[in-house]
Amino acid sequence: MTLALALLLFGLAFCGAFISGLVGVGGAVVMIPLLYYVPPLLGAGQLPIQEVAGLSMTQVLAAALMGAWSHGRHALVHHRLATATRPASRSAAPPRSGSRARSGSWPASWARAARSCSSRCWSG
């Protein structure tokens, strides 16, 4: 990665966050087009769509974790609602390592980490 591309990505992150907050849409809606189309237009190099998607997912994960932590810290979690949505959340979780998993499913270590985090988050 060149210095120009790194500086451009840093600037795009601030612009994307500002636009996302100003308009009130999710960050990925703004960041994916910015990261994919703007660097080649400015001659700073191009990111493959896989890297753009990975960067966007990382940003969404960080925002979700910070939001959950902040809401939990200020006791703003509606526990009855969280308990009611738990079955749907569990059904979307990756399969357990002992079950018949599809090929290409999450590695067992990721599945264990997701289940561990889920059980800690919902046990309150």
Per-residue pLDDT of 100-121, as tens digits, reads 445 455 556 666 666 665 555 5
32 within domain boundaries: yes
Per-residue confidence (pLDDT) for residue 36, from 0 to 100? 92
Task: Tell me the C-alpha distance between 44 and 7, whole Å.
Answer: 10
Residue 50's pLDDT is 92
Q: Is 41 contained in some domain?
A: yes
Single pTM value for the model: 0.57
Q: Does residue 30 belong to any structural domain of this protein?
A: yes
Q: Which of 87, 95, 88, 85 is nearest to 115 (CA)?
A: 95
Percentage helix, strand, coil, to 5, in the chain?
70, 0, 30
- Number of independent structural domains in the chain: 1
Is residue 121 in some structural domain? no
Kindly state whether residue 109 falls inside one of the protein's structural domains. no
Whether 97 is covered by a domain: the verdict is no
Residue 90 covered by a domain: no
Does 10 reside within a domain? yes
Query: Residue 38: what pLDDT?
Result: 92
Question: Which residue range forms the structural domain that includes residue 17?
Answer: 1-82
Q: Three-state SS for 66?
A: helix
Mean local confidence (pLDDT), 15-38: 87
Q: Please report the sign of the dihedral spanned by the C-alpha atoms of residue 111, residue 114, residue 118, residue 120.
A: positive
How is residue 106 written in tokens?
């999450």
What is the three-class DSSP state of 14? helix
**What's the sign of the alpha-carbon dihedral 18, 23, 24, 27?**
negative
Q: Which of 68, 6, 59 is CA-nearest to residue 28?
A: 59
At residue 103, the pLDDT reads: 46
